[in-house]
A = this chain, B = another copy of it.
Amino acid sequence: MNENARPLRRNEIRAQNEALILQAAEMVFAEAGFGGATMQLIADMAGLPKANLHYYFATKEDLYRRVVQNIFEIWLHAADCFDAAPGPVEAIGAYVDAKMEISRRHLNGSKVWASEVMHGAPVIQDYLETTLRDWTAGRARLIQNWVDEGRMDPVNPRHLLYMLWATTQHYADFGHQIETLNDGQPLSDAEWLAAKESVKSIILKGIGAI
């Protein structure tokens, strides 16, 4: 797999192979689910012998856990723009943009994440109960402040967050359905833009922020 003539250094080898395996695993887990995924398939996808996977990741669960944690990090990071913004319009607008971009750029990761939660979060339950719970509480308070300041309608902050998650995540998880309804064509750049704008405008108007 290493076409460059230059021999790789130790830490380079490890980093490269782990990344290769994680990428292949993300794809296979997204397409087949945890139960349907096989180490052999991931190995083939990564172009490595199966035994080599077990050298870097002891078990299938370990590998899966790493994939889930990776996407969780990205998912949570999209929240940064939420804090930097001066008001609901900018915050929610930027958040929708960021999450739509995740749905588009990390399609497989998004699916793995959805699958994990859907099956009861067997490996990241603790994250949900700590990191995510804290994050959500903080953002709900922020939204409540905007409500109290009269900058938007008195909506339930949690249900608004769920709506943001749902609408943006949908374009990844149900991307296949959307593509089928789009005459089998993936959404074009323009259509992605239209989707983003549609989501943003309906929600922002819906909560009385514009």
Contact = CB atoms under 8 A, between A and B. Distances in A.
Interface of A: 30-37, 111, 114-115, 117-121, 125, 128-129, 132-133, 136, 153, 155-156, 158-160, 162-163, 165-167, 169-171, 173-174, 176-178, 180-181, 194-195, 198-199, 201-208
A188 B198 CA distance: 31
A196 to B, nearest CB: 9
Contacts of A169: 166, 170
A63 to B, nearest CB: 15
A167 B178 contact: no
A122 to B, nearest CB: 10
A115 B155 contact: no
A120 B34 contact: no
Contacts of A34: 33, 35-36
B125 A194 contact: no
7 closest pairs, A vs B, by CB?
A: A35-B36, A206-B206, A166-B170, A202-B206, A35-B35, A33-B33, A159-B198
Contacts of A160: 198, 202
A202 B199 contact: no
B159 A194 contact: yes
Nearest to A32: B35
Nearest to A198: B159
A11 B31 CA distance: 39
A154 to B, nearest CB: 10
